[in-house]
Amino acid sequence: MRRLARTLVGLSAATALVALTAPGVGAHAAATKSTPPAAEKKQQPPPPPEKKQPPSAEKKQATAEKKPAATAAHKVMNIADITWGPAPAGLPTAAQAAVLHGDPGKPGMFIVRLKAPDGTQIMPHWHHADEHVTVIAGSVMVGMGPKWDDAGMQALNTGGHALMPRKQNHYVRTKGETILQITATGPFAITYVDPKDDPRKK
């Protein structure tokens, strides 16, 4: 019994590690771990440190973890799984888009990827919501303000992140084939400072 209790302590301490290292199981556990700890605590009684066999303790935890997973389906997507389509109207026609999560046209958080060839420009524009831009591949030059100004642009490289606050005018130009990930809250729209720059009006 004493040996079992020690094993259990070791097991619970190791659980977090297993969640990070075990493939498949790890992805699921990592996703459910994002639930606020307080909420998780309410639903899940603290794991009894004694009397339980390791397998049943594990089973109990797995059952508890299924609850938050019901609100958002478990999803694993690699870059090869992404299906590209035409970019939404309002963006340069050379760009392609893929929705990873949510729907930019509806209320709520969404994640979209944009792929564009070298030299693609999105002229000064703004949005009604904060726009988080993460560079997945390639890089972009980013500028702020209502008028395009090469001298004021900053490089945002692969792996970089930028926040364009709501109503902040901004503009970008890709360097090399670039993939951007856009995270924002819908319904999302793009408004050009100069309507003549709007591809929908060309």
Residues in the chain: 202
CB of 127 to Cu ion, least distance (A): 6
Footprint of Cu ion (CB under 5 A) = 131
Per the DSSP assignment, residues forming a β-bridge with 116 are 178
d(CA 197, CA 200): 9
Between 47 and 88, name the residue whose CB sits nearer to Cu ion. 88
* Helix/strand number for the chain, H first, E second: 4, 9
Between 65 and 131, name the residue whose CB sits nearer to Cu ion. 131
CB of 107 to Cu ion, least distance (A): 19
Between 52 and 132, name the residue whose CB sits nearer to Cu ion. 132
Between 32 and 183, name the residue whose CB sits nearer to Cu ion. 183
Name the residue with the smallest CB distance to Cu ion: 131
Which of these, 113, 196, 115, 97, lies nearest to 148 by C-alpha position?
196
Environment class of residue 128 by beta-carbon count within 10 Å: exposed (0-12), middle (13-18) or buried (19+)?
middle
CB of 84 to Cu ion, least distance (A): 19
Between 68 and 124, name the residue whose CB sits nearer to Cu ion. 124
Confirm if 167 and 128 have CB atoms less than 8 A apart.
yes
Say whether the peptide bond before residue 187 is cis (omega within 30 degrees of 0): yes
Backbone angles phi, psi at 65, to 5 degrees: -75, -20
CB of 99 to Cu ion, least distance (A): 16
CB of 168 to Cu ion, least distance (A): 9
